[in-house]
A and B are shown apart, each in its own frame.
Chain A
Amino acid sequence: MSELTTKLTAKDFASDQEVRWCPGCGDYSILKQIQTVLPDFGRPKEEFVFISGIGCSSRFPYYMDTYGMHSIHGRATAIATGLKSTRPDLSVWVITGDGDSLSIGGNHFIHLLRRNPDINILLFNNQIYGLTKGQYSPTSEQGKVTKSTPMGSLDFPFNPIALSLGADATFVARTLDRDPKHQQMIYKRGYEHKGTSMIEIYQNCNVFNDGAFEIFTEKGTKKQETLFMEAGKPLLFGENIEKGIKLDGLKPTIVDVTEGTANDLWIHDETDLTKATILSRFFDDPAMENHFPRPFGIFYVNENKSPFEKLFNDQIEFSKTTYGSGDLDKLLAGKETWVVN
């Protein structure tokens, strides 16, 4: 990793390509926040690689003046695994969407998380297929009426956070396009994490699924419906931060903190997998009565699992120190030879 003497700016990370997402798309904000945080890492831009699959979000690498690959549907995770394994010196980012990572690329996605190379995944979740013009996605709510499901979709949605925890991901977070500061904080934490960072971003598709996350972003509902988790702090939410989450054994309950119960509130611990699992299940339909707010922030971090590329290359080094660098002549001769005169 090289150190820079002069700090780069967001502009240094913008390519000469005209950005071609629909006006008003949530992708613009994500691009801007990434271009804003990258200079803070103090590394030259040639050390960053953005790899994407297929979908609206996957155009992202073209707009970054870094190395990049706009690959094929669902496979960015596998390509990134190959690159990071062989080039641990690079900062590798996967840009993907809900269809790309959870439908066609679902297999590679879970296996990337299980292997845990030091790759950052930005999962743009807009709960719809945008590029193919409006079919339901694996994160769409059941009953979604779209071009391909005029009577409503039948399948239940994936919960990307729960799925990632189930695959033993070592960094699992959620942020949203409308909150630049929160995004930047999460991206920095994801970058710093040594292992795969799975960052789900609620991203509005204003053409095919406008307002999907309105309830979490609009003034009137935002404070009631969102729970911003901070390590070491109690889980609080509500219009006037009047509500909190308490754990009754393993059962979470919503309590009114104005009634003097503030002391036994659930204190967020990013390293507690059990609690992260419970939080990941705060996935209720907001229309339900007594539903839980939707958590944002870092659900879980595990710094104790070695990144895949380290284990991968350690074996190579171990083999070299144990057996010495390979001798091709010896290898070609094999164990048994004979001479013909």
Chain B
Amino acid sequence: MATVETTLESVVIRFSGDSGDGKQHTGNKFTNSTALLGNDLATFPDFPAEIRAPIGTVAGVSGFQIHFGSTKINTPGDRCDVLVVMNAAALKVNLKALKQGGVIIVNTDGFDAKNLRLANIPEEQNPLKNGSLAGYDVKEIDVTKITRTALAGSGLGVKEIDRCKNMFVLGLLYWMYHRSLDNTIKFINSKFKKNPAIAEANVKVLNAGWNYGETTEMFAQRYNVAPAKMEPGVYRGVMGNQAVALGLIAASVKSKLPLFYGTYPITPASDVLHELSKYKNFDIKTLQAEDEIAGICTSIGAAFGGHLAVTGSSGPGIALKTEAIGLATMLELPLVIVNVQRAGPSTGMPTKTEQADLLQAFYGRNGECPVVVIAAQSPADCFTMAFEACRIALEHMLPVFLLTDGYIANGAEPWKFPLTKDLPEIPVSFAKERENAIDKYLPYTRDNKLARPWALPGTKGLTHRIGGLEKQNLTGDISYDPENHEQMVKIRQQKVDLVENYIPEQMLSCGADEGDLLIIGWGGTYGALKTAAGQLIEQGYKVSHAHIQYLNPFPKNLGEMLKRFKKVVVAELNNGQLVKILRDKYFVDAIAYNKIQGQPFMSSEVVQKMQDILTDK
């Protein structure tokens, strides 16, 4: 039977199976091969918090979704076209993510009595047998058996053989979507350099998957997804946490300052530490401290000493760092605080995404303690905003919050990475030494940005003391003077406000300058909101979308932009935080649209909601 070739604009595939099964790994391999083919793409891993949750259970299901296409891809996709399930629990968890009529590739071995029991499905309700999947295109394959057969006589044990199962599925999908096996084979051979038998087995099963598509009659369709029309240039794939690390390193190079990252491991921020710790030859110094507080405090010590100092964590860790952020504000030293947000409060849902730490970043300290707050909107944008966080902290001598979230931290997308020479310099100058100075050194004098001089210990003639007690203006001595306190509070606020002169104006990501509805978002919801706005525009609605990266202070033109639309909706993955700030600052009658499920927005649900708002439903 001849296969039919179909060309698609975009496809969403979700790999799912046991968390120990290597679904993330399979997804990443598919991603790399797809990127090399020139498709635009976005990915979203969805894994349980437990490292090894009980095998075969619903709690242990791990998923990886990739959306790739020949057009601009903004999100990992709402629902998938193809769902790969390695066991019954994976089907139970992920079926709702599959489009009506979608393809399910099933490993039938994962639906035996034991697996059904583990997934809490009564045997008589086996979905492969009770007709409940009639609306889908189900491809039943005994992947386990085929893999074992393919590797019979390889001399490998059953455990090792079964680990190759994913390669079968990967090979089959490569066949279905015309991706080359070369890159994955290259990767396998390099990864198992020291164990050629394992490498050979993986390659063999990968080929078996391809051949299965080619020779059996189960798959009548193959699909072409042409390369996307992307801006010309050299690209790579990048994940958000990785991009944060690269942005920090780039800022270290461009400011000519060694980087210090004091931190404590926490999901989903730890990968920033892992990544940075690899690059000691870039003068990147990482310290895994005894706790979150020591993480930021070691960074404050490094900032005092003249390093580009950064700390990173997620919500609960940021809560612990609160007092030290206040100290850094008083000291007026440069410090970057990265918060890779996760669902809260308290421990919350560590592996699930949320945007509920915005008010914490804005206000979560004692006293009047303003800091600069910026947010990254996509995996690759994490690079730009991490660089920006450093630039602002160093140029303005103050703490800067960089907000990302679990969704973009672990998500990946193609990135047209910059060249070093195209990145702006970050000029830093330390206070100069003074020979035989008789007059007292004044550590709290200020430049036109109200930044105070960075006077490093070890510099002659500049000895001075700083601390958390209120400072007398100019001298930095302790002061309880009422007028001085008020003046210093105002200065610290003004210092943050002045940053608005050194950030870009707010742009619209799509839509006209005025209209019926402006969708405002911030952070990792960029892709979903932009896609939704685009669809609404196509449907004829006068809708625009603006995504705010600079949150405190806001871009100067934001208030004026809000006024040009009849309605303003603020869409956030929280219970309404940015909307409060916008209402407060601009007296705008903004409508809050919120989702608090630990999951990103689906563009389809945003479209639906906006239609309701536009038609006053």
Could you list which residues of chain A lie within 8 angstroms of chain B, going by C-beta atoms?
Answer: 15-17, 44-47, 49, 51, 54, 61-62, 64-73, 75, 78-87, 89-90, 107-108, 111, 312, 315-316, 318-320, 322-326, 328-329, 331-334, 336-341
Contacts and interface: CB of A to CB of B under 8 A. Distances in A.
Given A107-B294, A316-B285, A87 B230 contact: no
Interface string B476-495: 01100000000000000000
Contacts of A68: 464-467
A341 B289 CA distance: 46
B236 A337 contact: yes
Most B Cβ at <10 Å: residue of A79, A107, A341: A79
Nearest to A109: B290
B281 A82 contact: no
Contact of A85 (B249, B287, B469): B287
5 contacts: A67-B458, A84-B301, A323-B281, A328-B282, A336-B237
A62 B478 contact: yes
Sorted nearest first, the 6 A-B pairs with minimum C-beta distance are: A82-B301, A70-B467, A82-B298, A326-B282, A78-B297, A319-B280
Given A332-B250, A332-B420, A72 B324 contact: yes
Interface of B: 32, 35-36, 38, 183, 227, 230-238, 246, 249-250, 253, 258, 260, 262, 279-285, 287, 289-291, 293-294, 297-302, 304-307, 309, 323-324, 326-327, 331, 416-420, 440, 457-469, 477-478
B298 A79 contact: yes
A90 B464 CA distance: 15
A71 B291 CA distance: 17
Given A47-B458, A62-B478, A337-B235, A71 B468 contact: yes
A108 B234 contact: no
From A15, A44, A71, A341, name the one whose CB has the most chain B CB atoms within 10 angstroms. A71
B463 A65 contact: yes
B227 A46 contact: no
B260 A72 contact: no
A72 B323 contact: yes
B231 A67 contact: no
B234 A338 contact: yes
Contact of A61 (B290, B331, B417, B467): B467
A320 B260 CA distance: 16
B279 A89 contact: no
A172 to B, nearest CB: 20
Contact of A86 (B183, B233, B249, B307): B307
A72 to B, nearest CB: 5
Contacts of B305: 82-83, 86-87, 90
B6 to A, nearest CB: 24
B252 to A, nearest CB: 9
A280 B287 CA distance: 32
Given A46-B457, A67-B464, A338-B234, A86 B258 contact: yes
Contact of A340 (B233, B237, B246, B250): B233
Contact of A82 (B246, B262, B280, B463): B262
Contacts of A318: 280
Contact of A67 (B234, B249, B287, B457): B457
A338 B38 contact: yes
A267 B38 CA distance: 78
B439 to A, nearest CB: 11
A256 B36 CA distance: 86
B298 A78 contact: yes
A84 B458 CA distance: 12
B302 A85 contact: yes
Contacts of A329: 419-420
A81 B284 CA distance: 16
Contacts of B249: 326, 328, 331
Contacts of B36: 336, 338
Nearest to B280: A319
Contacts of A86: 258, 260, 285, 301-302, 305-307
A328 B420 CA distance: 7
Contacts of B416: 340
B463 A83 contact: no
A62 B230 CA distance: 59
Given A68-B466, A71-B467, A339 B460 contact: no
Nearest to A308: B287
B32 A46 contact: no
A18 to B, nearest CB: 10
Contacts of A45: 463
A69 B466 contact: yes
Given A86-B307, A316-B280, A328-B420, A69 B331 contact: yes
B415 to A, nearest CB: 9
A15 B464 CA distance: 9
A168 to B, nearest CB: 14
A87 B457 contact: yes
A119 to B, nearest CB: 10
Contact of B298 (A81, A323, A337): A81
